[in-house]
Every structure is written in structure tokens, then in C-alpha cells.
Amino acid sequence: MSTGVSEERFPAVLWFTGLSGAGKSTIASAVVRDLLARGIPTEYLDGDAVRLLSPTGFSRAERDAHVKRVGYLASRLAYHGVTVVCALISPYAEARRHVRSLCDRFMEIYVATPLAECERRDVKGLYARARRGEIAHFTGIDDPYEAPEHPELVIDTTAVSLDAAVRRVLTVTEAVTMVGAEPALQSAADCRGETVAVRSADRAEGRFSLRHRSRSTWAPAK
């Protein structure tokens, strides 16, 4: 797919957050493939994969430590010129704010698939086990998910194709990472012809902030 992503660009951290089964890893993996195909230095940090390297539990403190650990690693990679795509449930707002504070260019992408759809997709039966009390601290069942209040992009995966979701992410990524972006309100068309409103913050500090003014939706490709 062609999105016109600029070859001259700043690195950024793309942070996918949402419930288990929302589609975070599916979209994130596709975005990584596209960026790498364009020759853009990119690394993918999946929350479950990182847990294998540093096993931890699922209490609030342990979850927050895990998110902050991945966030720190992502911020260092970005500092050295690598665009980092992260996919973690990351259920608590404070931990996500902490990660944002570490990164010069941070995109919070809320994959807002409804709980009922996440449960329907759950081939491993984890939600069912959690509802039976066999799994404790399961996000969305007996542990809360604090939805982002001001994410850069919201994708509800029940109505839009995977390709469309990837194009939306890449459109907003280009706006936040392109070299020479003006510190004013800019607009970029998304794949459905709607408008992605982008406000750049203090250019002298090299920090940019995006707000997607209309709610996006995505459904898994059949």
C-alpha cells in the first residue's frame, strides 16, 4: 500500500493500547512490515514477548513496572533514530502518561474494540476462564482498563478493514514524524476522506502532539 510516508522523518514511538484480543498486535505487526519495507529503521516491542525475557506478575504495581520498562526501552531506541512500535494492554493511564513523558514523539493509539467482540474472538478461552474465576487480575473482567482520554488515534476494530487501519496509523505517523513540520494546525486526509487534525507543539523542543477529531473504526479482515 502507498501512503506517501516521507523518507526524511524523525523517529517516534507508536504505542498501541487496548483490551486483550482488541487487535493491537495484528495492526502493529502490519505497520511494522510497512515501515520496514520503506527502509525506515523500526523495532517492534510486543508486551507478551518482553514478558518472556523478564517474567512478572499481573498486580497493578507489576503491570505498571512492565509498561514503564518497555516504555524506557522504546524511548532509548527512538533517541537513537529507531521508530518503535509497541503493543501492550497497558491498562493504567498513569503508566502510559509516564511513557509519554519519556518520548519526544509519542503516538498513543487506542484500539477500542468492545469487550464483547474481544471475548468473541478469544480462541484461547482466556475471557471465559477469567469469568469462571480461574484467572485473576484479567483486564476487562476483574481488573479495570482505563481508556485513554486524549489518544492520538482511536481505532474500533468492528467496522474497518485491517488495511484501512494501517493506512490511518501511517497517515498520522507521517504527520508527527516528518522533517520540517510546521508548528501550526495541519490536516491530513485519512483513508475514508475524513480529516485527521494535527496540532504541532513547540517545534523548538522537537515535540509534537496529534489529535484525531473523528473516531475511527476497524474490523479484522475476513
CATH classification at residue 190: 3.40.50.300
Q: Based on the number of CB atoms within 10 Å of its own CB, is 144 exposed (0-12), middle (13-18) or buried (19 or more)?
A: exposed
Band of pLDDT at residue 7, cut at 50, 70 and 90: low
Non-local (6+) Cβ contacts of 18 within 8 A are 24, 89, 110, 111, 112, 113, 145
pLDDT at 186: 31
pLDDT at 197: 32
pLDDT of residue 76 exceeding 80, the answer is yes
DSSP output for 134-172: SSSS-BTTTB-----SS-SEEEETTSS-HHHHHHHHHHH
Report DSSP state, residue 203: G
Band of pLDDT at residue 179, cut at 50, 70 and 90: low
> Is residue 27 assigned to a domain?
yes
- pTM (2 d.p.): 0.78
Band of pLDDT at residue 212, cut at 50, 70 and 90: very low
The more confident residue out of 159 and 150 is 150
Q: How far apart are CA 23 and CA 17, in angstroms?
A: 10
> Is residue 174 assigned to a domain?
yes
Share of the chain above pLDDT 90, in %: 66
pLDDT at 53: 80
The catalytically annotated residue of 25, 75, 90, 216 is: 90
pLDDT of residue 181 exceeding 60, the answer is no
Domain that holds residue 208: 13-217
pLDDT at 92: 98
Non-local (6+) Cβ contacts of 49 within 8 A are none
Q: How far apart are CA 217 and CA 194, in angstroms?
A: 12
Average per-residue pLDDT for the chain: 80
> Is residue 92 assigned to a domain?
yes
- Record the cell numbers describing residue 97, joined without a space: 502518561
State phi, psi for 32 to the nearest 5 degrees. -60, -45
pLDDT of residue 37 exceeding 60, the answer is yes
Quick check: is 90 catalytic?
yes
> Is residue 222 assigned to a domain?
no
Count of domains in the chain? 1
Terminus-to-terminus CA distance in the chain, angstroms? 18
pLDDT of residue 221 exceeding 70, the answer is no
Determine the distance from the C-alpha atom of residue 129 to the mean position of all C-alpha atoms in its chain, rounded to a whole number: 27
> Is residue 79 assigned to a domain?
yes
pLDDT tens string 45-62 = 999 888 888 778 889 999
> Is residue 121 assigned to a domain?
yes
> Is residue 61 assigned to a domain?
yes
> Is residue 54 assigned to a domain?
yes
pLDDT tens string 114-146 = 999 999 999 899 999 999 999 999 999 999 999
